[in-house]
Amino acid sequence: MNVDLILVLVVLTNLKLLASSRLGASIRVVAAQGVVLGLLPMLAHAHALGLRVVVLALGSIALKGGVFPWLLFRALREADVSREVEPYVGYLTSLMAGVLALAASFWIGARLPIPTLIASPLIVPIALFSILVGLLLIISRKRAVSQVLGFLVLENGVYTFGVGVMEETSFLVEAGVLLDVFVAVFVMGITIFHINREFDHIDTDRLSTLKD
Amino acid sequence: MKAAALLPPLFAFLLSPLLLGVINRTKAAFAGRNGQPLLQSYYDLWKLLHKGAVYSRTTSCVFRAGPLVGLAAVMVATMLVPLGDLPALVAFPGDLVLFAYLLGLMRFFTVIAALDTGSSFEGMGASREVLFSALAEPALLIALAAVARRAGSYSLTDIGARLSTESWLQIAPVLALVGVALVVVMLAENARIPVDDPNTHLELTMIHEVMVLDHSGPDFAYILYGAALKLWLLGALVLSVLVPSSGGNLWLNLAMALGGMFGLALGVGIVESVMARLRLLVVPQLLVGAGALATVAMILVLR
């Protein structure tokens, strides 16, 4: 039950991200999603609560709920933007696309053969849904910050899937993924800052007119 | 048919204007005023019924039919809605669709009566009303379909009766999503904040109120009474989903249902006090959002 509640919260935060134009609010929503997902391994593996699970959960909560929002808010402040402007796909359309993506993920999730036991039947569809929403955010938004958020949502989807099959994957792989994401967000934060300093804006679509 | 089945329509007919009184008193309390008497809506209706109606020479019989058909439609819809655990007067499989479209019929006649006046402001209001209700209707029907599927029946009475405390333990996310979607639909359909401000009298921003500007006297009383009934009905619908049935005791059920209705009115009053009206451009986003929540609930039920 608790696992299901967390997964429904993940769905709702994803839909909120698709419909929201405010970057600050979006960063907070992604942070909240990260914290809620951090609790997932402890609940999903309550019967075998080892040191490994607790360390992984605490690590991901600290990173996704503390370090990432801090880095992104810093980037936001330095770039001096607060809103997404004119995304390629409008908010209403993205919201409806999100609902379609959810339906599609449930359809695929029901047909995907999963070799191992999974904590909740919702985990696979919602992991797929997070991945699709992340991709949608990356391709449909213009601000670099939104794209970083899309990347984080995508990673949250992968993480959700990883929690479901935790008995099969090693601690090292999970920790490695977390570290990769940390480095990626760190680098992207710096890149946003530099793009902004060179070009006075962080609209990625205008970067394509770059000349040497 | 048991005598208890007469109670939901009876309470709806008698008490629905009181809901408006509760909402207004809540708003007044938040603003630090005394506010109008609780029974002000009844006084208004009484006053309007004793006035004569004025009809413009440019209007036709459609204008005169509008309020009557609207009130008749919503009164028929009253027969279909249960109150808490009390069964509705008429219940048959599929009555939730009839309910939705009786409200649609009421709206349609309000809209053509508004268009019949030829006033440009009323045309604007009509256009907005139609747009917003077109967006609210999928949310309402999908939300009802989700709980109907869960309850295994397409009748509003059965849905209200079969959602028990156990279903809150099993499918809390579904019920919460459906509840939020229905509350948004209720606020939008009844032209309350955050969709429309019932107190504003600036024609450019009004939705529902602007459509009835040309009605007067008894016609206007029918419209006000119809609007109060509609608020009561959609509130009862929200309650039948959110408040689980409690068992057989008639008086306990009645107390819970009436307490729930006026609690809901209190909630609407609080929402109106603490929120600003949304910009017209943002309202579709809210309604599609409600539709999205209802769809998520539907997907969770279907899986």
Structure confidence by residue, pLDDT tens digits, A57-85: 888 899 889 888 998 888 888 777 777 77
- Answer whether residue A102 shows pLDDT above 70: yes
Domain count, chain A: 1
Average pLDDT over residues B3-25: 90
When pLDDT is averaged across residues B25-44 and rounded to a whole number, the result is 93
Confidence band for B135, pLDDT divided at 50, 70 and 90: very high
**pLDDT level of residue B112 (50, 70, 90 thresholds):** very high
What is the least distance, in Å, from the CA of A183 to any CA of chain B? 34
- CA atoms of A31 and A152, how far apart (whole Å): 9
Are the Cβ atoms of A95 and B285 closer than 8 angstroms? Answer: yes
Q: Out of B284, B295, B303, whose CB is closest to A92?
A: B284
Q: Confirm whether A48 is domain-assigned.
A: yes
> Which of A182, A44, A52, A62 has the alpha carbon at shortest distance from A117?
A44
With a cut of 80, say whether residue A168 has pLDDT above it: no
Structure tokens at B123: 């045309």
Q: Give A 19-48 residues with CB within 8 A of chain B.
A: 19
Query: Would you say residue A163 lies in a domain?
Result: yes
Average pLDDT over residues B116-126: 89
Q: What is the mean pLDDT of residues A41-68?
A: 81
Determine the average pLDDT of the residues in A144-161: 88
Chain A residues with beta carbon closer than 8 angstroms to that of B289: 15, 19, 95
Q: What average pLDDT does this structure show over A101-125?
A: 84
Inform me whether the pLDDT recorded for B110 exceeds 70: yes
Tell me what percent of the residues of chain A surpass a pLDDT of 70.
87
Beta-carbon separation of B289 and A15 below 8 A: yes
The two three-digit tokens of residue B185, written as one number: 């639909």
pLDDT in tens, B163-198: 766 777 777 888 889 999 999 999 999 988 888 888
Interval B60-79: pLDDT, tens: 999 999 999 999 999 999 99
Q: Which residue has the higher pLDDT, B224 or B201?
A: B224
pLDDT reading at B106 higher than 60: yes
Residue B66 tokens, joined: 């509008």
Q: Average pLDDT of chain A?
A: 83
What average pLDDT score do residues A16-30 get?
A: 91
Are B194 and B187 spatial neighbours (Cβ–Cβ below 8 Å)?
yes
Residue A126 has pLDDT above 60, yes or no: yes
User: pLDDT at residue A152 above 70?
Assistant: yes
**What's the CA gap between B63 and B172, in Å, rounded?**
46
At residue B1 the predicted structure's pLDDT band, cuts being 50, 70 and 90, is low
DSSP B51-74: SPP---TT--HHHHHHHHHHHHHH
Contact B285 A1 (CB under 8 A): no
DSSP string for A62-79: HIIIIIHHHHHHHHHHHH
User: Least CB-CB distance to B299: which of A5, A12, A106?
Assistant: A106
In a domain, A208, yes or no: no
Shortest alpha-carbon distance between residue A36 and chain B (Å): 15
**A119 band by pLDDT with thresholds 50, 70 and 90:** confident
Segment B203-227 mean pLDDT: 87
CB within 8 Å: B289 and A110: no
Task: Name A181's bridge partners.
Answer: none
Q: Is the CB of A98 less than 8 angstroms away from the CB of B292?
A: yes
Flag whether residue B165 sits within 8 Å of chain A, measured between CB atoms.
Answer: no
Beta carbons of B292 and A4 less than 8 Å apart: no
Provide ipTM, 2 decimals. 0.81
Q: Does residue A11 have a pLDDT over 80? A: yes
pTM value is 0.88
Q: Give the one of A1, A91, A106 whose C-beta lies nearest to B285's C-beta.
A: A91
- pLDDT value at residue A117: 67
Cα-only R_g, chain B: 19
Return the higher-pLDDT residue of A50 and B73. Answer: B73
Mean pLDDT, residues A87-103 taken together: 91
The answer on pLDDT for A90 being more than 90 is no
pLDDT reading at B20 higher than 70: yes
Residue B50 has pLDDT above 90, yes or no: yes
Task: Find the residue in B nearest to A105 (Cα).
Answer: B299
State mean pLDDT over A94-98: 92
Residue A10 lies in a domain: yes
Per-residue confidence (pLDDT) for residue B4, from 0 to 100: 76
Sign of CA pseudo-dihedral A56, A128, A180, A139: negative
Say whether B295 and A95 touch across the interface (CB within 8 A). Answer: no
Question: For residue B303, is pLDDT > 70?
Answer: yes
pLDDT of B46 = 95
Is any Cβ of chain B less than 8 angstroms from the Cβ of A121? yes
Helix (H), strand (E) at residue B164: none
pLDDT of residue A211: 58
Question: CB of A187 within 8 Å of any CB in chain B?
Answer: no
pLDDT at A118 over 80: no
Task: Identify the three-state secondary structure at position B215.
Answer: coil
Count of A-B CB contacts under 8 Å: 45
Q: Which residues of A touch B302 (CB under 8 A)?
A: 106
Q: Contact, B234 vs B268, CB < 8 A?
A: no
At B248, the pLDDT band (50, 70, 90 cuts) reads low
> Which pLDDT belongs to residue A13?
94
Q: Give the separation between CA A60 and CA B227, rounded to whole angstroms.
A: 51
Q: Poorest-confidence range of A115-124, B10-19, B112-121, B123-132?
A: A115-124
Task: Give the chain B residue whose CA is nearest to the CA of A103.
Answer: B299
Q: Give B-chain residues touching A122 at CB under 8 angstroms.
A: 303
In angstroms, the separation between the Cα of residue B141 and the nearest Cα of chain A is: 16
The CB-based long-range contact list for A29-33 (8 Å cut-off, 24+ gap) reads A30/A64, A30/A68, A30/A69, A30/A149, A30/A152, A30/A153, A30/A156, A31/A64, A31/A65, A31/A68, A31/A69, A32/A65, A33/A9, A33/A64, A33/A153, A33/A156
Contact A19 B284 (CB under 8 A): no
A37: distance to nearest CA of chain B, Å? 17
Residue range of the domain that includes A87: 2-200
